[in-house]
Structure 1
């Protein structure tokens, strides 16, 4: 009898726990656009529960006893707010919150345990404080990433990051709204990533991570990855006109197609276009032309489903002065801004279609589906060695291709609670197929006459990847992220110079595990340890002859870092990192050969500091060191050519203080070896830029100055063996592209 009584009392005591629990479901939107805000920090005051909004701007708290609650909602660049609600027994309370934009206050930035894996504080600060003003600034938003342009304004920039000379994208994965930018088996080089189809004024955010630690990022994710996200909606329509030195002109326009009527229905649509022209500062005018057109629609098919459709097209054509050897300038053969072969140049174009559908089901599953397609054309004329191989006609080459690229990104994820432990499980599948027609490398003369076809064929490359990812938040302080990724490649090549060989094929696969740990001591300090494996693929024209052997060399990396706020207005991110590569295969499109670099290792330190000096004045500083070395090389031959060893970027930014805003910035790239024994050195440079804006309600006037101090500097440098027309023997020395001299542009923007 006593046992029955005890059991009955135990059941009665348990009833309030199981029968009277309520919940809160909320959404957060932007006041100006009425669009949902993702990544908003939401905290239940005094309860110890926190979360962030999902893709639809939604959040949820479950298992709440009947009581009044205060909800603190904070997002960078928006006014924080506190909402008071009362949760009744067994009921769900719906909360809708609209956030107004405001000036950035570093004191309000929180180091959040809920955002540990996707911590992008530095990125969000930078994009808010110093908006992108030109196409090159797009890539510079990643701390420690340097770029160099060495073939006119239309060619993809050369990229440097974490001790890598990444060429045009071999070891960094770049995407725009989830759509790939890197081109596999490209006519000019593996991973070629041309971001010039992006209109700078439309960039809303840049998500990035250095190192191979993110499960849903596959090929090229060795040094890191960056995803550039364009605006879902325009705050208002605008027209921008710019004019500057060297025959430079640019016009940009963005038209909000639905206005307030669309916002009332949770819809937005806009059309934007950009046209650029410049002769540039070289002795031989570039006649650079670029046209961009983009249209985007975003709508809510239901309260839990939204659809985003994007279409864009891009075209560019230019002449360029190429790289010139030091001796040609020193002898007076050409000027600092001169050219050895002024017939170099190129043209390129890309048309994109992108559809994204996000759904949150009643059982709290988040489904993401994305389909994308690109048609791409590329033609480039270059001459790096002048008369080394052909003393009569010169060494000019043409690289050309036509490509169709399509693919799919899909994932399903869900967050569950088991007591105080929270589990977020994600599974995904990705598919990409590239088909090129007439991928070509030819010897040409004067950009007109074809002397010899060296490579000519069709490529069909398929990459399918699947992954699972688990994020376990054990408490408000400690979380663990583990993931496993599988990638399969099928490479096919039809050599049209040897038609008898037919279509050749090779297959390969690789598994990439990840493990990341995060410890958030308080809202001012977080430690993290990232570890992972990734890879970069090799060119199909190299893969097929090797029958698929050693074509997916793995990379293993680790980061030990900290994010902390020692003072309310000071934010610091510091990390020590290490990266080991089994093989650095590099496909040299200029020669049509592969250069195996062997095993390499890199390690270094990254430091990013953001400080609010006054209410409107901010300072930022990035310092990055690296020690890149080849493993197993002979004594004194272990240097990695052009790999950066020390870089620094920093400046002052004035947020709107009355009608004025602007920035003064510098960038420094230190001396680095240009060859394996460091006998040839690529020299350092220090360049400053200035931006000043005067803003009224309906218009803005801006002055942009690149290289404010008119420093003479070499933007890209290579140790190249070449021969000039009258030379009897080749010379191996620095060949360079001159950096921008003092270059001022004046812009006017009208809003409505």
Structure 2
């Protein structure tokens, strides 16, 4: 009888709730960007006076359900756009449809919200920086990530060396970089694991960057230990443009972007544009660099219905250059070469990459999102370097060639559902990822003068597969407390065919790894958020290493934690601070005389990150990033447990100006403190402090720009290595700092014309 009464009560309750909801109404709509006439995502939409807030989805859509019939006011806000309020009247059993067009406006820091319903995806610092500090060159793309430092040590064509959170990341070993979701890093690369060359991105087309430090995001897998960054290119051009640049050191550049459809008025159902870039420079080295780069990109975006869109991107990139390489301190001190000179002037390289990227997004009537992405890259790389000069071969020298041809293809897919009961809401994502890298002729060879092959040291083919499944759950338990939990499983198959062996040998190794994540967010009030990020990540090892020595661990894990705050003590100041810890089961060590990276022992890092953004006046903004780290090897004895070249303190900051009269610009600095260059800290990599200036004057049809790198003409070492080498005629080798000089005072003028 008790069970019967309970079931009856539940049935009556359900019927009563259904009856109460049967005559409620809804309000829904789409938010558009007036400049592009395309839907705008991540817009905050608030139902004024009701305590309800939603964020527009991938298709710019929003929806409030189960509203009592009455008049309402909806408030729309997004950084870089004017706030807008719209009145809407809701009727029983009906959905009131509202379409809103947001107009771009000067940045107001007061618009940035600390408390949102999707705190795990919130990136207020990123959205501010991309609008306040427009990108002027390819290096500035990477500097959009707070605390990420870069160094170029092979002319302008090779991928930059990266530094973040106490890591010398080499060229991308422990940071995962993507562009529109397509991977940039190359696993088992001829030059180094995770090699990430972003030079195929045209800087003027970067619309934003999403990033997170640490291994806390479920859909980011291999290499995302120190962090990850996804650079987003423009979906559409608000207008066509041509840009011409000229500067010191025979520097010339031309960029053009053409809107192919040019629809105006109303809203767009599709857009398409074509962009291209050509660069040439001899650079500031004594030996002319003869650097050349060509980029071409085409992008199409179409809305097949109110709930489905397709984005197709195709691009191709080619670059060729000479470079002066690293020079030892003693060569400069003895007068053998100048500060901008070279020991082996025949170094250089050539690389190319062609990409195809297709992204299909569908949002169901119940606001479930289905995403499918297919990508393909054809990649070629050839690099000539000489790290040790005449250490091994006193007659011909130690120049090496690293070369490969690669086909990379893969898939990213996810299905996201949203559910709400009362004040509790769930966002659940199920995802699948696949990536396969096929290289032909991955080579390490001993060469002379970039023309003669003396000996092939390594020569083979790589076939590497990474497949993954993941589930991610974000639960808003209340208006203050949000929990995000996820787990991913990655499977790797690494195969290497050694073409130097007779007969040819093929070896395979497989392994899987499970990576759990747990993130907690608590909103104290409208101006203060606390968070705890925890998770496990990993980086894969080079296929040539793990197949040669099967005892090597293929997928060493990395365990991290961040305890942080996001605070707005008053409307014009935003601060993000975090204390962090990261432990790696396996470190990587750069072997200079071989030009390769090898796995080593365990390591741990801990530190503090602080980022602040402050609006001084309506037009003037200040920013600063402070980053400390204490990186150590776990297995080495005290005093010999330093991690070479790992940064211990870095800082960037500056002033940005945006006026309503056409004037804009920025004055910025970057500082890296002295850091150990070897394990016992007896050799030190000298720090530097460099300033840059950017000034623009814009009118409706044109923009004049002045860019100055190293405004104070500081003499600095951009990259440094403690390398053992022998110069020609030396009886014994010497181990000391080898460096690439940093950019001297370097001014460029630009003219951009719009139509």
Q: How big is the shift at 1:595?
A: 3.0
Per the alignment, do residues 263 and 706 of structure 1 end up closer, same or farther by CA in structure 2, a change over 3 Å counting? farther
Give the counterpart of 2:40 among 34, 37, 42.
Answer: 37
How is 1:293-372 mapped onto 2 (pairs within 5 angstroms)?
293-372=296-375
* Equivalent position of 1:84 in the other structure: 87
Distance of 1:509 and 1:493 partners within structure 2: 18
* Equivalent position of 1:520 in the other structure: 523
Q: How big is the shift at 1:34?
A: 1.1
Tell me which moved more, 121-130 or 52-61: 52-61
How is 1:646-661 mapped onto 2 (pairs within 5 angstroms)?
646-661=649-664
Tell me which moved more, 480-489 or 90-99: 90-99
Q: Does 1:536 align with 2:539?
A: yes
* Equivalent position of 1:465 in the other structure: 468
Distance of 1:352 and 1:198 partners within structure 2: 11
Per the alignment, do residues 589 and 502 of structure 1 end up closer, same or farther by CA in structure 2, a change over 3 Å counting? farther
Distance of 2:72 and 2:385 partners within structure 1: 66
Does the aligned pair in 1 maintain the 2:282–2:291 contact within 8 Å? yes
* Equivalent position of 2:386 in the other structure: 383
- Deviation string 1:571-615 (CA, Å, 9 cap, x unpaired) is 100000000001114575962765332111100000001000111
Tell me which moved more, 432-441 or 30-39: 30-39
Give the counterpart of 2:210 among 207, 212, 220.
Answer: 207
Distance of 2:12 and 2:648 partners within structure 1: 70
Distance of 2:276 and 2:232 partners within structure 1: 17
Give the counterpart of 1:182 among 164, 175, 185.
Answer: 185
* Equivalent position of 1:450 in the other structure: 453
Which consecutive residues of structure 2, in runs of 5 or more, have no partner in the other structure? none
Distance of 1:79 and 1:471 partners within structure 2: 30
Which consecutive residues of structure 1, in runs of 5 or more, have no partner in the other structure? none
- Deviation string 1:476-499 (CA, Å, 9 cap, x unpaired) is 211000000000001111100004
Per the alignment, do residues 700 and 7 of structure 1 end up closer, same or farther by CA in structure 2, a change over 3 Å counting? closer
* Equivalent position of 1:667 in the other structure: 670
Does the aligned pair in 1 maintain the 2:388–2:592 contact within 8 Å? no
Give the counterpart of 1:136 among 139, 146, 150.
Answer: 139
* Equivalent position of 1:609 in the other structure: 612
Tell me which moved more, 65-74 or 25-34: 65-74
How is 1:718-733 mapped onto 2 (pairs within 5 angstroms)?
718-733=721-736
2:38 is paired with a residue whose SS is: coil
* Equivalent position of 1:563 in the other structure: 566
Distance of 1:453 and 1:11 partners within structure 2: 76
Per the alignment, do residues 209 and 504 of structure 1 end up closer, same or farther by CA in structure 2, a change over 3 Å counting? same
How is 1:387-426 mapped onto 2 (pairs within 5 angstroms)?
387-426=390-429
Does the aligned pair in 1 maintain the 2:388–2:593 contact within 8 Å? no
Does the aligned pair in 1 maintain the 2:161–2:170 contact within 8 Å? yes
Q: Does 1:24 align with 2:27?
A: yes
Q: How big is the shift at 1:500?
A: 2.1
Q: Does 1:482 align with 2:465?
A: no
Per the alignment, do residues 499 and 263 of structure 1 end up closer, same or farther by CA in structure 2, a change over 3 Å counting? farther
- Deviation string 1:650-683 (CA, Å, 9 cap, x unpaired) is 0000013412111100000000000000000000
Distance of 1:674 and 1:186 partners within structure 2: 25
Per the alignment, do residues 538 and 10 of structure 1 end up closer, same or farther by CA in structure 2, a change over 3 Å counting? closer
Q: Does 1:503 align with 2:514?
A: no
2:65 is paired with a residue whose SS is: strand
Distance of 1:503 and 1:490 partners within structure 2: 13
* Equivalent position of 1:740 in the other structure: 743
For normalisation by structure 1, the TM-score amounts to 0.97
* Equivalent position of 1:547 in the other structure: 550
- Deviation string 1:330-383 (CA, Å, 9 cap, x unpaired) is 111100000000000000000000000000112322000000000000000000
1:285 is paired with a residue whose SS is: coil
Give the counterpart of 1:245 among 221, 239, 248.
Answer: 248
Per the alignment, do residues 549 and 719 of structure 1 end up closer, same or farther by CA in structure 2, a change over 3 Å counting? closer
Does the aligned pair in 2 maintain the 1:538–1:585 contact within 8 Å? no
* Equivalent position of 1:149 in the other structure: 152
Per the alignment, do residues 265 and 155 of structure 1 end up closer, same or farther by CA in structure 2, a change over 3 Å counting? same
Q: Does 1:75 align with 2:75?
A: no
Distance of 2:562 and 2:89 partners within structure 1: 44
Tell me which moved more, 67-76 or 258-267: 258-267
* Equivalent position of 1:104 in the other structure: 107
* Equivalent position of 1:633 in the other structure: 636
Q: How big is the shift at 1:6?
A: 11
- Deviation string 1:527-569 (CA, Å, 9 cap, x unpaired) is 1100000000000001112337411000000001111100110
Per the alignment, do residues 15 and 697 of structure 1 end up closer, same or farther by CA in structure 2, a change over 3 Å counting? closer
Q: Does 1:695 align with 2:695?
A: no
Distance of 2:147 and 2:110 partners within structure 1: 25
Does the aligned pair in 1 maintain the 2:192–2:596 contact within 8 Å? no
Q: Does 1:51 align with 2:54?
A: yes
* Equivalent position of 1:167 in the other structure: 170
Q: Does 1:598 align with 2:601?
A: yes
Give the counterpart of 2:231 among 214, 228, 233.
Answer: 228
Per the alignment, do residues 587 and 361 of structure 1 end up closer, same or farther by CA in structure 2, a change over 3 Å counting? farther
Distance of 2:550 and 2:597 partners within structure 1: 14
Q: How big is the shift at 1:113?
A: 2.7
Distance of 2:322 and 2:238 partners within structure 1: 37
* Equivalent position of 1:494 in the other structure: 497
Distance of 1:508 and 1:293 partners within structure 2: 38
RMSD value, Cα: 1.7
Deviating beyond 6 angstroms after TM superposition, the runs of 4 or more aligned structure 1 residues are 5-13
Q: How big is the shift at 1:156?
A: 0.1
Q: How big is the shift at 1:202?
A: 0.1
Distance of 2:552 and 2:711 partners within structure 1: 51
* Equivalent position of 1:715 in the other structure: 718
Does the aligned pair in 2 maintain the 1:152–1:286 contact within 8 Å? yes
1:603 is paired with a residue whose SS is: strand
1:712 is paired with a residue whose SS is: coil
Distance of 2:16 and 2:155 partners within structure 1: 76
Q: How many residues align?
A: 749
- Deviation string 1:160-202 (CA, Å, 9 cap, x unpaired) is 0000000000000000000000000000000000000000000
Per the alignment, do residues 325 and 47 of structure 1 end up closer, same or farther by CA in structure 2, a change over 3 Å counting? same
Does the aligned pair in 1 maintain the 2:214–2:227 contact within 8 Å? yes
* Equivalent position of 2:376 in the other structure: 373
1:541 is paired with a residue whose SS is: helix
Per the alignment, do residues 667 and 88 of structure 1 end up closer, same or farther by CA in structure 2, a change over 3 Å counting? same
Q: How big is the shift at 1:49?
A: 1.3
2:130 is paired with a residue whose SS is: helix
- Deviation string 1:61-92 (CA, Å, 9 cap, x unpaired) is 22222222221110000001111212111222
Distance of 2:445 and 2:363 partners within structure 1: 52
1:117 is paired with a residue whose SS is: helix
Does the aligned pair in 2 maintain the 1:471–1:482 contact within 8 Å? yes
Does the aligned pair in 2 maintain the 1:189–1:589 contact within 8 Å? no
- Deviation string 1:294-338 (CA, Å, 9 cap, x unpaired) is 000001011100000000000000000000000000111100000
Distance of 2:18 and 2:457 partners within structure 1: 80
1:167 is paired with a residue whose SS is: coil
Tell me which moved more, 514-523 or 140-149: 514-523
